[in-house]
Amino acid sequence: MSEIRILDHPLVNCHLTTLRKKSTNPVEFRRSVGRLSTLLAYAATSDLRTAELPIETPIQKMIGRQLLQRIGLIPIMRAGIAMVEPMLDLIPGSEVWHLGFYRDEETAQPVHYYSKLPDSSPVDVAFILDPMLATGGSAALACQQMIDWGVGTIKMLSIIAAPEGIERLENEFPEMEIYTCVVDERLNENKFIVPGLGDAGDRIFNTTG
């Protein structure tokens, strides 16, 4: 069974409210995505391995810590791109590998159109980034690509998740860790999360028309 971590925190709830509001403009929407991504990243990185690092402060020598593992950030384009910079602020040495999927509006299934992964030398830990975990279709394809690449630890970071998406990942990838700020009620007939926040990509990039 996949491990699911739901962030229950006053700051998370307040920033989620900003995201959900129809009146929130793209600038503030992006800021809220960034803030929530930072909070998700803080929770999801708590078990990263570190090694001792001898350093010298202005006062004396001491032993600090440095990350031991190679970290990969895997944004699912396009909305996942908005979660990359907050993660890089916390883990500047991360590698960023993009995956592109678009939603077939007739079938609501993801269509894979882009992948930027090397043939070998997988990262130790991969963070799959997508603000919305709806049907779980794109996340499942991304997770399978991480497995095929040879990644040992895979973590899914989504700001809002639907029960249907979580269930799919639990069934198909029981070893995956899922981090989300909230699990909403359901998917509607068009496979959008309810109550949700609309189309995250359109709101991030101001392409609602």
User: Quick one: which of 112, 120, 115 has its CA closest to 99?
Assistant: 115
CA-nearest of 173, 185, 106, 100 to 136 is 173
Per-residue pLDDT of the chain (209 residues; tens, 9 = 90+): 568 999 999 999 999 999 999 999 999 999 999 999 999 999 999 999 999 999 999 999 999 999 999 999 999 988 999 999 999 999 999 999 988 877 776 776 777 777 878 888 999 999 999 999 999 999 999 999 999 999 999 999 999 999 999 999 999 999 999 999 999 999 999 899 999 999 999 999 999 86
Q: Which residue has the tokens 């809220």?
A: 32
**Is 103 one of the annotated active-site residues of the chain?**
yes
* Residue 92 structural domain: 3-47+68-205
Catalytic residue among 5, 30, 70, 103: 103
Name the catalytic one among 17, 50, 107, 207: 107
What is the number of structural domains in the chain?
1
Q: Report the b/e string of 62-72 with b at 16+ CB within 10 A.
A: eeeeebeeebb
Q: Are 208 and 28 in contact (CB under 8 A)?
A: no
Is residue 202 annotated as part of the catalytic site, yes or no? yes
Question: 27: domain CATH number?
Answer: 3.40.50.2020
Exposure of 107 in the CB half-sphere (CA atoms within 13 A): 6
Specify if 56 maps to a domain: no
Q: Does residue 55 lie in a domain region?
A: no
Entry pTM: 0.92
Query: Does 132 map to a domain?
Result: yes
Residue 52, domain member (yes or no): no
